Structure 1
C-alpha cells in the first residue's frame, strides 16, 4: 500500500528537472481541466519540454490558470500563440467540436500538435485533418492524437498475452460517477460534439482495435441512454455497443458518464478460442486443449492502479469423441508500471514506476519531434479508423454523427 501511495503521489507531483537549451516550447490553447494531466505535470520531469504560454477565451481565466501552474506567458488569443515563432508545439484540449479547426490552424502555422482525443468530431474531419498536404512535407509538423493510455506499459504487457487471430469475444466497460458530470457540461452538448462515446467510450473502442489488431466490420448493435428533455437528446450519457471483427470475434463496449458513486475501474476482458497444445507426453489418442481469458483492470488510468489476470483453462480429452479426461485451471496476475516490467520488445525503453501514461506519451511525442525513433505511435490512419468506428456506432444508435465543422 505504501508503495502505491508513493507512486501516485510522485506521479501527480513529479520532480522538476533542469531543461535543455533546445527544449520544445509548448503553448496551450484553452485553460482546460485536462491540461495539467495531459501536459503540465508530465512536462515537469521531461528535460526537453517547457510549457511556455497559455491562451483562453477569457484572458482573466488564462492569467489565473498561468499563475496556478507556473506558466510564464499569457496570450490574448489562440492566434497569438500560433503566430509566435518561439512556440514550437501546442496542446489542444478544447471542446471536441473545435479540435479539427485548431489542429488545422496549428499545422498550417508550422506547430507540432498534441491533440486531445477524440481527434475530431467525425471521420470526415479526420480524413481531411490527417491527410493535410503540410503533413507530408519535409520537416512536417508532428500530429498526435493524445490516446495516453495506449502508451502505458501495462497495455502492451496485456496485449502480449493475446493472439489477435484467436480472440472470440471481448468485453470492455468504463464509467465515471454521476456527480462528476452535470447536464450542463460540454459532455452533453451536441454542438460541441458531446456524448459518452466521444468522451469516454473512445478509450474502449481504441483498446478493442488494439486487441484485435484490426478494424471492425460492422456495428451489430448500439443502445444509448439519453436525458430525453428536448435539449440533450442527441447526446448519450451511456451506451452499450457490439461489433463484429474480421476474424469473426465479437467485441462489446459499455460506458456511462452517469455511473454510481462507487467508482469501478475500467475493464477489458478477452476470451480466446480453444486451441490444441502439443504435448508429447500424451498418447496419440489424446490431446490437450487450452482456452485463455485475459483481463486488464484499469486500462484507462493504469498508472494509478491496474492488474492483468491470465486464466488458462486446460482440458485433456480423447480425440475421437472429445470426452474430457482431465481439466484444470492455471491463473496468474501481472503488473507493469515500466517497460522493464513489461518485458518483450520494449524492455529498453525509459520510464519510472511513477510515470503517468501521459508522461510515456510525452516521451514518444518528443522523440518524434526530435527525429528520434519511436517504439509506439498512434498514426494518422489509426486515428482516422478510430473515428470511423465511433461514426459506425453513432449511426447504429440512431443519434447520428456529431456535427461537422464549417471551417476549412
Structure 2
C-alpha cells in the first residue's frame, strides 16, 4: 500500500506547488518589479512570492502596454509601467526580475544596477562571458546584488546527489552523462529560442542545465571540449548559426569525462516525453537522478553501491538522509527555494546556498567553449554601452 500513500503525496504536493498558501506580508517586504510579461514569470516569481512573507511583486513593465496591463490584472500586480526604464526609475521598487530574451539580459541588467536595483537574472546570465563578468563587476561597484537564476541549485534533492558524489563513498568520479531534451512541438517555431539576434540556441537555453550541474557536482571546470556537434535549427543560417540541439563531450581534471545532450525538438516518435536526467559513474558504484531541473514535481535518486542492492531516495525537503539542512516544505519549488535565498542575501541573512559571480562567469566560458567546438560560434554581443 506504500504506493497509494506515495501517489496521494504526489497529487497533494503538485496541487500545492500550483496553489501555494498566501503569506501575510511583512511591513518591509522586498518590492520586486518584473521586466516583461514572460511566460516563465508566474512559475519563477509570482507563485513563489505568494508564500513568502518578505516579498511583494509590485510592478510589471512590458514593451506592449496592453499586454502588461492584462498580465498585471491576471496576477494581481498593482502597478503597470509603459517602459522598462520607467519601472527602473521608480524609487519604490527594491529589486527586479529579468526574464527578458538572452540578448537583452546585459543591457537591462546594467541599467537596473545603474538604478540601484538588485537583480534576479534569468539564466543564461548574458550572451557572452565578458558581458557576465562586466555585470558582476559593476554590481559590486554599485553595492547591489545580482543572482543568476539557476533555480535547481537550491533544491535538497540535488544537494543530496552532490553530497553522495563528493563524500567519496563510491570512490572517484569517472564519467557523467547529462541530458535535457523535449519532443518536437514543445516550443513554437517562432519562439525566441530560435532567434540568433536574441541569443537563441538550445545550448544557451536547455544545455546550460546539465552543463551547470556537471560543473557543480565535480566542483571543477572543463579542461577542454573533446567533441561537440550541433543540429541546426530551422532558423539557422551561415551568418547566424543556431542550434536546435547540441551534444558535447568534455574533459575535466583527474581524467573525468562528461557528456551532455540537449534538444529542443527531438523528432517524434523517438521521444514523446521530456528527458531530464544525470548519471554519475564512480569507481565503486553510480548515482542516477531523474528530473534534476524540477525535482519538486517528481524525482528519484538511485544509488548503486558495489556489491549491494540499489537504493532509491526521494528528497522533497531536508531530512535525515542529508547532512545539509534547508528551510522549506516538500511543496516548495526550486524557484521558491531560490527566492528565499535571494531575499535572505539582500536582507543580510545567510542563505542556505548561494551561487557566486565566479560560478556564473565560468559557466558562460564553458558554454562558449562548446559553441566554438561545435562550429556554431558564440552568440552576438550586446551593442549596449554603459
| TM-score higher than 0.5 | yes
Task: Provide the rounded CA distance (Å) in 2 between the counterparts of 1:300 and 1:195.
Answer: 19
Give the TM-score normalised by structure 2: 0.93
Residues 182 and 275 in structure 2, CA contact (< 8 A), matched pair in contact too: no
* Correspondence 1:203 to 2:209: yes
Residues 61 and 80 in structure 2, CA contact (< 8 A), matched pair in contact too: yes
Structure 1 residue 406 displacement after superposition: 1.2
Structure 1 residue 124 displacement after superposition: 1.4
- Secondary structure at the aligned position of 2:185 is classed as helix
Structure 1 residue 227 displacement after superposition: 3.3
- Secondary structure at the aligned position of 1:98 is classed as helix
The corresponding residue for 1:40 is: 46
Residues 153 and 342 in structure 1, CA contact (< 8 A), matched pair in contact too: no
The corresponding residue for 2:343 is: 366
* Correspondence 1:12 to 2:22: no
Structure 1 residue 179 displacement after superposition: 1.2
| Structure 1: gaps (5+ residues) | 274-290, 314-327
Structure 1 residue 375 displacement after superposition: 2.4
* Correspondence 1:143 to 2:146: yes
Residues 267 and 298 in structure 1, CA contact (< 8 A), matched pair in contact too: yes
Rg comparison, structure with higher value: 1
Task: Provide the rounded CA distance (Å) in 1 between the counterparts of 2:212 and 2:164.
Answer: 18
The corresponding residue for 1:321 is: none
Structure 1 residue 3 displacement after superposition: 1.0
Task: Provide the rounded CA distance (Å) in 1 between the counterparts of 2:137 and 2:60.
Answer: 28
Compared with structure 1, are the counterparts of its residues 24 and 145 closer, same or farther at alpha carbon in structure 2 (3 Å cutoff)? same
Residues 156 and 342 in structure 1, CA contact (< 8 A), matched pair in contact too: no
Compared with structure 1, are the counterparts of its residues 342 and 88 closer, same or farther at alpha carbon in structure 2 (3 Å cutoff)? farther
Matched residue pairs, number?
A: 372
* Correspondence 1:89 to 2:82: no
The corresponding residue for 1:294 is: 287
Give the TM-score normalised by structure 1: 0.88
Compared with structure 1, are the counterparts of its residues 182 and 341 closer, same or farther at alpha carbon in structure 2 (3 Å cutoff)? farther
User: 1:328-407 maps to which residues of 2 (within 5 A)?
Assistant: 328-340=307-319, 343-344=322-323, 346-347=324-325, 349-407=326-384
The corresponding residue for 1:160 is: 163
| Structure 2: gaps (5+ residues) | 1-6
Compared with structure 1, are the counterparts of its residues 341 and 360 closer, same or farther at alpha carbon in structure 2 (3 Å cutoff)? farther
Structure 1 residue 2 displacement after superposition: 1.5
Q: Deviations over 1:340-381 (max 9, x none)?
A: 36520x22x310010000000000000000000122111110
- Secondary structure at the aligned position of 1:333 is classed as strand
Q: Deviations over 1:148-176 (max 9, x none)?
A: 01111100001111138811100001112
- Secondary structure at the aligned position of 2:87 is classed as helix
- Secondary structure at the aligned position of 1:54 is classed as strand
